[in-house]
């Protein structure tokens, strides 16, 4: 039954351009490290893959109308769980990252219970508060977590290409699952809640239930991303809970395109690339009044870029790409027809 | 050992139950860390005069949060806009004060008003150039813009004023008034006085003037007030400028009391947000009481449970309040 | 139509940016250089201080002709590569920065600030076998982690790789040892004498520290020295606070209740200044405050104002206690630095500056840029001490007894005196009297602050 479904799905999808774009992107992501080769690029690509999972998990939660401002809590919980399991019990990280995801989802579920009644800003602040509480607890129980100084995490795969391919594999699986969820009835419910909670309640959607589902699923992927992140950096410390890590997925999702599948992917590629490659211009920048302006000019430029993007592309870069896609791949006659109608 | 301490921990008997709970928690924490030593007992012997002083310190720092939170709430109430970069206006306000003082050589407390004006102008520019263009779209885009603005303001400040801490020196630098055993700085008291005066002026503006009426109308029913002939655009500009001016005042007062650098904005923003969420979005009395409560809760937690817990306790209080009252202490139900 | 224009505009912008970046990338200097990567948190003031000192050292060395490499029979210039580790909280950024400079062909790394970030990013240098002179991480684990028990969470099994790590920096042990001994040997006799305390009365010390690796490390080391050296000091209060704290009245009230004779403040510049000030003006904790040596930065003096009058600061590089300084070399360094950048140098830059000269010496001794030879040469460093005073008066990394490479820096205590004409405090060295290889460093006697009240 199941295999039949898959075969028919493949048959169907080979007809659509989207499928080919998907295949092209996957093969591109597999080939590009072989072209770039330098260890910085492979590191950056791996970070992109990990942040794709993290940003997508945040985006899934935001799709259900719950914009979290404390997702770093789940990144950290996933990372610490997996790293500590490997350190203390010798559990292999490849299993540990999924346990980390499950633990994070469990905590996410409990936090979700306090959040389902809350509206947007209240929810944002409560999740932010939980990330602060998580940080305090991890540094308070330092004897157990070793979080204050940090510690060396076990290797998940040998660094470089093997880790990159593993990260791409896991990221692809996660994106596929999130895509499937968003296409399913559950995804429909999420979007309905996002658009209008009281109306979706009226048409019989159990909003509390679906919001909890969104919380648990999202925090599972965030925890998984945290595990990958911790084992990729080979180091974890309490700074993983920093608010910057909470705002990162928001920025990635918004710049890429909120509520879309491709948005967080594009966003994490753009932001990680800027963060990692822009410092290359440092050597051309001067010292002014005893201050090396490089980092400050870079960050200032990033800020201006972000504001300009969101002003001119309020639906993110993906909306621009969609326009380009329609421009190139849609029959102009057909488009004109639609316009006329 | 802990029970002996209990009896002389706090004088007022009505607080006894509360004390007992605090003590138990404290001992538990110390045991887990394996550091239950003799001096922890001395910590617990806090007399009531210290407690009163702690509350006053909480209220004093709370005052600066109140200014920030009120501005934030004003902007939210009228424009339905969440500005995470509001604390950056506080930072800019402090630097504006610094610039005015070095350029004109005025008294720091006169600089409060000059800085309010200058920061308001910057606020207008920010509103016109950025928020205006994303208003009404996806709410998360507004947060995104404010995150971009944080980067812009922080780094412009470093490039203009340098990365090192500065401070504003008040003529009352050395003066303090004795209150029982401990003293309180005159500057703290003046800051509290300034906040009270500014808040009274603000309430007068909102309640008694035509402009304030238009603001209230816009905040309740934007569409209808437009039909009534209110120029919403102007109201938005004015509101944002007013919020920025409050942040500017908070900035100079902050600079008188603490050293400041380009990065001081982030923390007060988060606290101001916690406060308006606690007090209720859009409610100005909520912001005032929330601000004082937050300041006091933080200081009291630091002195009873141990300083490590100050943020965690403050946010726990926030979460508990929201679980019990999802709309905040003074927020409107429903909507 | 508007859409097409927008798309065109975006495409053009992307192409222009990409092209200009590509052109910039290609415009690198073509002649061979010695590439030294400076690993520093450029987004906080200490990182900028490290950068200024590094540029000064590079300029001096290059102006003098460069570094002679026997292999090539040529003088090569130093090219400074920037590894911006951000603001020390972002582990990923630190790793990326170190990877970048190693990819760019760094022959040697200098710098590193914040133990947590350095413990993470040094691994890249260990794996790639790039010599790394660490000048800023206060945790001794950065060089000792290769020699821990194998189940220690920081353990690195790669002994060969660990041999590329060199620690040219004070660790938390150095700070705490000096401070603990200062209290036992200088302050306690003074108090006993002044207030008629019996010799058996222990000095009542309170410690207030930031709750991170740095603060915890100093606290643990202080406890360790009081116990192992059997010092007549009693810890009467231990308070730590989260990094987000800006007001300290509650913490200081707790300390005041414990009646200390002195307070050891473990935090960086701005917070330490705030603690000094709030302790005296708000809480009425009129005692002796001592700050860690990381506060020897211009920012500390600005933020402190007159509240530091007669208070203490530990130091290893007293750039404010002169001129004239206790080291002739400091006279020129401080003057040059001020002429170039219009600010007084901080202590982080001093380590960095020295490290460039250690690198120069090592490369010249090795006669090659081959990394293992450079490592061996650094290991054999035996130079006259430079800006940082060491216990032996010479720069030499420990090798024989201990297999890890550390120097033994010498720290001392300064007392700040308020100078009304500049509106800031200026320090005088008060303890100990002499330093190895320097002679007398003491500039004034330790006097208790006017408002001092001893503990009960």
Residue B1 pLDDT exceeds 70: no
Report the complex ipTM: 0.89
* Inside any domain, residue A212: yes
Residues B82 and B203 in one domain: yes
What does the pLDDT look like over B278-319, one tens digit per residue? 887 778 888 888 888 888 888 887 877 777 777 787 788 888
* Inside any domain, residue C16: no
What does the pLDDT look like over B60-88, one tens digit per residue? 788 888 999 999 889 988 888 888 899 99
| Lowest mean pLDDT across A71-75, B27-31, C223-227, C283-287 | B27-31
- The residue range of the domain holding B15 is 1-45
* Inside any domain, residue B208: yes
Determine the average pLDDT of the residues in B238-263. 92
Residue of C84, C99, C154 with shortest CB distance to A40: C99
Residues B143 and B258 in one domain: yes
Closest CA to C241 of B296, B299, B63: B299
Q: Do B147 and A311 touch (CB under 8 A)?
A: no
* Inside any domain, residue A338: no
Indicate the pLDDT class of residue C41, thresholds 50, 70 and 90: very high
What does the pLDDT look like over B215-240, one tens digit per residue? 888 887 777 777 777 888 889 999 99
Residue of A135, A237, A327, A328 to mutate, testing the C interface (most C Cβ within 10 Å of its Cβ): A237
Residues A68 and A21 in one domain: no
- For chain B, list the contacting chains (3+ Cβ pairs, <8 Å): A, C
* Inside any domain, residue A175: yes
* Inside any domain, residue A340: no
CB of A249 within 8 A of CB of A264?
yes
Residues 272-331 of C with CB under 8 A from A: none
Residues C213 and C253 in one domain: yes
Q: Do B149 and A307 touch (CB under 8 A)?
A: yes
For B184, the enclosing helix (H) or strand (E) is strand B182-185
Residues B36 and B58 in one domain: no
Residues A26 and A61 in one domain: no
Q: How far is A325 from chain C (nearest CA, A)?
A: 11
Closest CA to B290 of B134, B69, B13, B104: B69
Tens of pLDDT along chain A (341 residues) come to 567 777 777 777 666 777 787 888 888 888 888 888 788 999 999 999 999 999 999 999 999 888 889 999 999 999 999 999 999 999 999 999 999 999 999 999 998 888 887 877 788 888 888 898 899 899 888 889 998 889 999 999 888 899 999 999 999 999 999 999 998 989 989 988 888 878 888 888 888 899 999 999 999 999 999 999 999 999 999 999 999 999 999 999 999 998 889 999 999 999 999 999 998 888 888 888 888 998 999 999 999 999 999 899 888 898 888 888 888 776 555 555 554 44
Q: What is the mean pLDDT of chain C?
A: 89
Residue-level pLDDT at C70: 92
* Inside any domain, residue C8: no
Residues C272 and C369 in one domain: no
d(CA C341, CA C297): 14
Beta bridge partners of C80: C36
* Inside any domain, residue A339: no
Residues B112 and B259 in one domain: yes
Indicate the pLDDT class of residue B32, thresholds 50, 70 and 90: very low
Residues 329-348 of C with CB under 8 A from A: 340-343
Indicate the pLDDT class of residue B28, thresholds 50, 70 and 90: very low
Residues C166 and C183 in one domain: no
The residue from B221, B245, B268 where one domain ends is B268
Q: How far is C82 from chain A (nearest CA, A)?
A: 7
Residue-level pLDDT at C192: 92
Residues C415 and C289 in one domain: yes
Residues B192 and B74 in one domain: yes
Query: Rounded to the nearest 5 degrees, what angle is found at the Cα of C438, between the Cα atoms of C432 and C439?
Result: 60
| Lowest mean pLDDT across B55-59, B298-302, C198-202, C399-403 | C399-403
Residues C79 and C143 in one domain: yes
* Inside any domain, residue B250: yes
Q: Which residues contact B259 (CB under 8 A, 6 or more apart)?
A: B165, B166, B167, C270, C273, C274, C302, C303
Residues A118 and A243 in one domain: yes
CATH of the domain at A146: 1.10.3470
* Inside any domain, residue B145: yes
* Inside any domain, residue C1: no
Count other Cβ atoms within 10 Å, centred on residue A224: 31
Residues C386 and C245 in one domain: no
- What Cα–Cα distance (Å) separates residue A341 from each residue in A49, A325, C406? 42, 21, 79
Residues C393 and C417 in one domain: no
The residue from B252, B268, B284 where one domain ends is B268
In a 3-state reduction of DSSP, which class is residue B182? strand
Residues C402 and C418 in one domain: no
Residue-level pLDDT at A124: 85
Higher pLDDT, C402 or B39: C402
Q: Do B315 and A129 touch (CB under 8 A)?
A: yes
* Inside any domain, residue C74: yes
What does the pLDDT look like over C79-97, one tens digit per residue? 999 999 988 888 999 999 9
Indicate the pLDDT class of residue C372, thresholds 50, 70 and 90: very high
- For chain A, list the contacting chains (3+ Cβ pairs, <8 Å): B, C
d(CA B221, CA C213): 52
Residues B74 and B35 in one domain: no
Q: How many domains does chain C have?
A: 2
d(CA B273, CA B269): 6
Residue of B163, B263, B266 to mutate, testing the C interface (most C Cβ within 10 Å of its Cβ): B163
d(CA B285, CA B166): 33
Residue-level pLDDT at B35: 40
Residues C177 and C310 in one domain: yes
* Inside any domain, residue B325: no
* Inside any domain, residue C7: no
Backbone φ and ψ of C237, nearest 5°: -155, 145
* Inside any domain, residue C248: yes
DSSP 8-state symbol, A17: H
Closest CA to C168 of C381, C431, C441, C429: C381
Residues C208 and C76 in one domain: no
Residues C211 and C306 in one domain: yes
Closest CA to A257 of A275, A270, A272: A270
d(CA B308, CA C210): 9
Smallest CA–CA distance from B298 into chain C, residue:
C250
* Inside any domain, residue C263: yes
d(CA A168, CA A45): 9
d(CA C312, CA C291): 6
Q: How far is C130 from chain B (nearest CA, A)?
A: 32
d(CA A237, CA A214): 28
Q: How many domains does chain B have?
A: 2
Residue-level pLDDT at B42: 40
Beta bridge partners of B7: none
- The residue range of the domain holding C271 is 172-315+411-440
Determine the average pLDDT of the residues in B91-111. 93
Residues A237 and A308 in one domain: yes
| Lowest mean pLDDT across B49-53, C205-209, C237-241, C389-393 | B49-53
Residue of A292, A310, A312 to mutate, testing the C interface (most C Cβ within 10 Å of its Cβ): A292
- The residue range of the domain holding A28 is 1-33
* Inside any domain, residue A163: yes
In this prediction the pTM is 0.88
d(CA B323, CA A43): 42
* Inside any domain, residue C80: yes
d(CA B174, CA B161): 27
Residue of A256, A296, A299 to mutate, testing the B interface (most B Cβ within 10 Å of its Cβ): A296
What does the pLDDT look like over C299-345, one tens digit per residue? 899 889 889 999 999 999 999 987 888 888 999 999 999 999 988 99
What does the pLDDT look like over C154-193, one tens digit per residue? 999 888 899 999 999 988 888 899 999 999 999 999 999 9
Residues 214-253 of C with CB under 8 A from A: 216-217, 242
CB of C317 within 8 A of CB of C350?
yes
The secondary structure of B228-256 as a DSSP string is TT--HHHHHHHHHHHHHHHHHHHHHHHHH
Q: pLDDT over 70 for what percent of chain B?
A: 82
Mapped to the 3 state alphabet, what secondary structure does chain C carry? CHHHHHHHHHHHHHHHHHHHHHHHHHCCCCCCEEEEEEEECCCCHHHHHHHHHHHHHHHHHHHCCCEEECCCCEEEEEEEEEEECCCCCCHHHHHHHHHHHHHCCCCEEEECCCHHHHHHHHHHHHHHCCCEEECCCCCCHHHHHHHCCCCCCCCCCCHHHHCCEEECCCCHHHHHHHHHHHHHHHHHHHHHHHHCCCCCCCEEEEEEEECCHHHHHHHHHHHHHHHHCCCCEEEEEEEEECCCCCCCHHHHHHHHHCCCCEEEEECCHHHHHHHHHHHHHCCCCCCEEEECHHHCCHHHHHHHHHHHCCCEEEECCCCCCCCCCCCHHHHHHHHHHHHHHCCCCCHHHHHHHHHHHHHHHHHHHHCCCCHHHHHHHHHCCCEECCCCCECCCEECCCCCCCCCEECCECCEEEEEEEECCCCEEEEEEEECCEECCCEECCCCCCCCCCCCCCCC
DSSP 8-state symbol, A155: P
Backbone φ and ψ of B160, nearest 5°: -85, -45
d(CA A131, CA A219): 13
Residue-level pLDDT at C243: 83
Strands C383-384, C394-395: parallel, antiparallel or unpaired by DSSP?
antiparallel
Q: Which residues contact A210 (CB under 8 A, 6 or more apart)?
A: A64, A186, A189, A190, A193
Could you identify the residue written with the tokens 């306000």? B93
Q: Does C211 touch chain A (CB under 8 A)?
A: yes
Residues A15 and A133 in one domain: no
Q: How many domains does chain A have?
A: 2
Residue-level pLDDT at B33: 39
What does the pLDDT look like over C222-242, one tens digit per residue? 999 999 999 999 999 999 888
Residue C213 pLDDT exceeds 90: no
Residues B27 and B57 in one domain: no
Residue C414 pLDDT exceeds 60: yes
Helix axes B86-104, B232-257, angle to 10 degrees: 60
Q: How far is B311 from chain C (nearest CA, A)?
A: 8
Beta bridge partners of C425: C418
Residues A17 and A150 in one domain: no
Q: Do C153 and A38 touch (CB under 8 A)?
A: no
d(CA A163, CA A32): 14
Tokens of B143: 């947060």
Residues C309 and C232 in one domain: yes
CB of A158 within 8 A of CB of A169?
no
Residues B28 and B131 in one domain: no
d(CA C177, CA C227): 11
CATH of the domain at C75: 3.40.50.2300
Closest CA to B97 of B80, B112, B76: B112
Indicate the pLDDT class of residue C30, thresholds 50, 70 and 90: low
In a 3-state reduction of DSSP, which class is residue A116? coil
Residues B33 and B171 in one domain: no
């Amino acid at each position: 039954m199941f295999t039949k479904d898959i075969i028919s799905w493949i048959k169907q999808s080979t007809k659509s351009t989207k499928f080919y774009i998907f295949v092209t992107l996957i093969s591109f992501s597999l080939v590009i490290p072989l072209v770039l080769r330098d260890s910085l690029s492979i590191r950056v690509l791996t970070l992109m893959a990990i942040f794709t999972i993290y940003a997508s998990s945040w985006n899934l939660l935001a799709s259900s109308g719950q914009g979290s401002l404390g997702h770093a809590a789940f990144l950290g919980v996933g990372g610490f769980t997996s790293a500590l399991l490997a350190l203390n019990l010798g559990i292999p990280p490849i299993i540990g990252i999924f346990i980390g995801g499950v633990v994070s989802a469990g905590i996410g579920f409990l936090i979700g219970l306090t959040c389902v009644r809350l509206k947007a800003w209240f929810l944002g602040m409560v999740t932010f508060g939980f990330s602060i509480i998580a940080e305090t607890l991890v540094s308070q129980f330092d004897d157990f977590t070793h979080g204050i100084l940090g510690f060396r995490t076990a290797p998940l795969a040998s660094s470089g290409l093997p880790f990159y391919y593993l990260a791409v594999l896991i990221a692809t699986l996660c994106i596929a699952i999130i895509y499937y969820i968003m296409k399913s009835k559950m995804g429909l419910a999420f979007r309905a809640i996002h658009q209008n909670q009281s109306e979706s309640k009226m048409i019989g959607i159990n909003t509390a239930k679906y919001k909890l589902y969104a919380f648990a699923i999202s925090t599972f992927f965030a925890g998984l991303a945290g595990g990958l992140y911790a084992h990729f950096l080979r180091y974890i410390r309490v700074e993983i809970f920093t608010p910057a890590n909470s705002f990162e997925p928001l920025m990635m999702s918004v710049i890429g395109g909120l509520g879309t599948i491709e948005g967080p992917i594009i966003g994490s590629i753009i932001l990680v690339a800027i963060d990692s490659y822009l410092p290359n211009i440092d050597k051309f920048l001067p010292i002014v009044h005893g201050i090396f302006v490089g980092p400050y000019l870079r960050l200032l430029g990033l800020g201006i870029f972000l504001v300009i993007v969101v002003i001119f592309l309020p639906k993110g870069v993906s909306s621009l790409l969609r326009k380009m896609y329609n421009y190139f791949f849609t029959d102009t006659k057909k488009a004109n027809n639609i316009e006329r109608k | 050992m802990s029970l002996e301490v209990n009896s002389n921990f706090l004088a007022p008997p009505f607080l006894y139950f509360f004390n007992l709970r605090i003590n138990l928690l404290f001992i538990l924490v110390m045991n887990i860390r394996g550091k239950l030593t003799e001096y922890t007992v001395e910590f617990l012997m806090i007399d009531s005069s210290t407690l009163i002083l702690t509350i006053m310190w909480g209220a004093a720092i709370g005052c600066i949060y109140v200014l920030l939170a009120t501005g934030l709430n004003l902007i939210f109430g009228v424009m339905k806009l969440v500005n995470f970069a509001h604390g950056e206006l506080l930072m800019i306000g402090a630097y504006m004060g610094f610039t005015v003082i070095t350029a004109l050589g005025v008294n720091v407390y006169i600089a409060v008003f000059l800085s309010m004006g200058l920061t308001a102008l910057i606020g207008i520019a920010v509103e016109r150039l950025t928020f205006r263009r994303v208003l009404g779209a996806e709410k998360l885009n507004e947060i995104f813009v404010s995150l971009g603005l944080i980067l812009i303001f922080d780094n412009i400040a470093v490039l203009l004023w340098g990365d090192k801490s500065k401070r504003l020196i008040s003529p009352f630098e050395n003066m303090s008034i004795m209150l029982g055993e401990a003293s309180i700085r005159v500057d703290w008291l003046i800051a509290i006085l300034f906040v009270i005066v500014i808040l009274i002026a603000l309430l007068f503006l909102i309640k008694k003037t035509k402009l304030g009426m238009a603001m209230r109308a816009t905040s309740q029913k934007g569409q209808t007030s437009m039909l009534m002939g209110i120029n919403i655009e102007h109201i938005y500009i004015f509101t944002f400028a007013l919020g920025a001016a409050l942040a500017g005042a908070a900035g100079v007062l902050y600079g008188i009391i603490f050293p400041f650098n380009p990065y001081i904005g982030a923390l007060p923003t988060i606290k101001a947000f916690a406060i308006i969420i606690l007090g209720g979005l859009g409610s100005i009395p909520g912001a005032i009481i929330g601000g004082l409560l937050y300041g006091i809760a933080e200081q009291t937690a630091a002195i009873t449970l141990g300083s490590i817990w100050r943020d965690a306790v403050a946010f726990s209080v926030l979460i508990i309040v929201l679980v019990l009252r999802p709309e905040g202490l003074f927020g409107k139900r429903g909507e | 139509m508007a859409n097409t224009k927008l798309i065109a505009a975006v495409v053009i912008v992307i192409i222009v940016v990409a092209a200009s970046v590509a052109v910039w990338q290609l415009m690198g200097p073509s002649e061979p250089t010695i590439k030294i990567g400076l690993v520093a948190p450029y987004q906080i003031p200490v990182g900028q201080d490290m950068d200024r000192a590094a540029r000064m050292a590079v300029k001096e060395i290059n102006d003098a002709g460069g570094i002679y490499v026997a292999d090539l029979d040529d003088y090569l210039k130093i090219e400074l590569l920037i590894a911006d580790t951000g603001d020390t909280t972002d582990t990923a950024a630190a790793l990326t920065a170190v990877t970048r400079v190693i990819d760019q062909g760094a022959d040697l790394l200098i710098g590193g600030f914040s133990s947590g970030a350095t413990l993470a990013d040094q691994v890249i240098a260990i794996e790639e076998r790039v010599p790394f002179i660490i000048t800023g991480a206060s945790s001794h684990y950065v060089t000792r982690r290769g020699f821990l028990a194998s189940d220690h969470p920081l353990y690195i099994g790669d002994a060969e790789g660990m041999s590329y790590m060199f620690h040219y920096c004070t660790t938390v042990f150095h700070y705490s040892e000096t401070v603990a001994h200062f209290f036992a040997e200088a302050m306690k006799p003074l108090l006993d004498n002044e207030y008629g305390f019996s010799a058996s009365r222990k000095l009542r010390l309170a410690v207030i520290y930031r709750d991170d690796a740095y603060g915890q490390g100093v606290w643990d080391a202080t406890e360790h020295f009081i116990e192992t050296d059997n010092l007549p000091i009693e810890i009467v209060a231990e308070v730590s606070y989260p990094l987000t704290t800006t007001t300290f009245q509650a913490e200081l009230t707790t300390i005041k209740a414990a009646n200390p004779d002195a307070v050891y403040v473990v935090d960086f510049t701005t917070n330490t200044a705030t603690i000094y000030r709030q302790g005296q003006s708000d809480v009425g904790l009129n005692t002796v405050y001592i700050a860690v040596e990381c506060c020897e930065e211009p920012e500390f003096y600005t933020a402190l104002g007159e509240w530091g009058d007669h208070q203490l600061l530990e130091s290893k590089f007293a750039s404010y206690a002169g001129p004239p300084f206790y080291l002739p070399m400091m006279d020129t360094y401080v003057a040059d630095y001020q002429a170039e950048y219009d600010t007084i140098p901080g202590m982080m830059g001093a380590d960095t500056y020295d490290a460039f000269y250690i690198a120069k010496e090592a490369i010249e001794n090795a006669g090659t840029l081959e990394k293992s030879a450079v490592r061996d040469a650094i290991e054999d460093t035996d130079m006259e001490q430079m800006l940082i005073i060491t216990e032996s008066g010479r720069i030499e990394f420990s090798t024989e007894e201990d297999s890890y490479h550390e120097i033994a820096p010498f720290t001392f205590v300064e007392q700040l005196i308020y100078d009304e004409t500049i509106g800031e405090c200026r320090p005088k060295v008060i303890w100990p009297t002499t330093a190895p290889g320097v002679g007398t460093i003491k500039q004034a006697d330790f006097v208790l602050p006017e408002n001092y009240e001893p503990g009960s």
